[in-house]
Chain A
């Protein structure tokens, strides 16, 4: 049991570092609009790895997982409705509207 815990954590670290290398390299390649999405997706995977295997959510009960995801869920609401404003401003452009 002891060996596997350390091994799991080491494996997670190796994956994290690999993803860091990949995201660094991809940032220098012109993927057009995909650059941002790829960068964010890789960041999300890294965050997931830290959450699941360093913060032990993989082995936690449902309640812990709900608490963990709650913040992200509420941020999704903040982002989507706020961006609904900013992205649609130009649909009916008025003098002085942003940007």
Chain B
């Protein structure tokens, strides 16, 4: 695949059809991811409604500083990858690489902060293995939801890294950059999941 004279794959009539198909494919995949996370969101909702006070007490123990900081980090990373896509759209490969590098760095910092936060939570005994039953339930949901999210973020980091590499190898141009666009869509989705996790986990029981 030559970035300057890209050709559509054999099953497609032209590049435009290929691009649209790829985009629809990624949106379909994102729909599956919404359903996947939705199930754990349901568990959270059911138990939050059933045990509002105990849930709030347990949630208020979480590190809201790291949680809020991480939310800001992901929002910023989303901005940078959107910027990266619009750069390569205008044939600015080097700027796109820079933008994606910033995205990657921010995502990586998120994971570092999360790891530290887990370490801190465990030291404070905010764990599913001991304590008041509903608190244990809350932390089980907390670790499961944020853990699955972190897994998706890690996969995102791998894919973004691959895109940075391919940009470096000049495999993308204004005429062909679909993989970067799809990577962007995936990254934004991971951001959106966290946008919901943040108030669900960190902003409960904080009223003074």
Contact = CB atoms under 8 A, between A and B. Distances in A.
Direct chain A–B contact by Cβ atoms under 8 Å: yes
Contacts, number: 118
A92 interface: no
B123 to A, nearest CB: 24
B58 interface: no
A64 B198 CA distance: 27
Contact of A31 (B27, B42, B50, B207): B207
Given A6-B86, A47-B192, A83 B46 contact: yes
Given A55-B188, A67-B27, A99-B51, A47 B195 contact: yes
B195 A83 contact: no
B207 A28 contact: yes
B83 A71 contact: no
A28 B38 CA distance: 27
Question: Could you tell me the dominant secondary structure of chain B's interface residues?
Answer: helix
B207 A30 contact: yes
A78 B38 contact: yes
A28 B208 contact: yes
Contacts of B204: 36
B93 interface: no
Interface in A14-73: 16-17, 20, 23-24, 27-31, 35-36, 39-40, 42-43, 46-47, 50-51, 53-55, 63-64, 67-68, 70-72
A75 to B, nearest CB: 4
B interface bracket (residues with beta carbon within 8 Å of A) = 35 or more
Contacts of A43: 195-196, 198-199
B151 interface: no
A11 B24 CA distance: 27
Contacts of A16: 75, 79
A29 B71 CA distance: 20
Given A43-B195, A47-B192, A51-B188, A67 B31 contact: yes
B9 interface: no
A30 B208 contact: yes
Interface string B70-82: 0110011011011
B185 interface: yes
B152 to A, nearest CB: 15
Nearest to A65: B27
Nearest to B33: A71
Nearest to A57: B27
Interface in B58-90: 64, 68, 71-72, 75-76, 78-79, 81-83, 86, 90
11 contacts: A9-B82, A16-B79, A20-B72, A28-B207, A42-B199, A50-B192, A64-B23, A71-B33, A82-B46, A83-B45, A99-B50
Interface of B: 23-24, 27-28, 30-35, 38-39, 41-42, 45-46, 49-51, 64, 68, 71-72, 75-76, 78-79, 81-83, 86, 90, 184-185, 188, 191-192, 195-196, 198-200, 202-204, 206-208
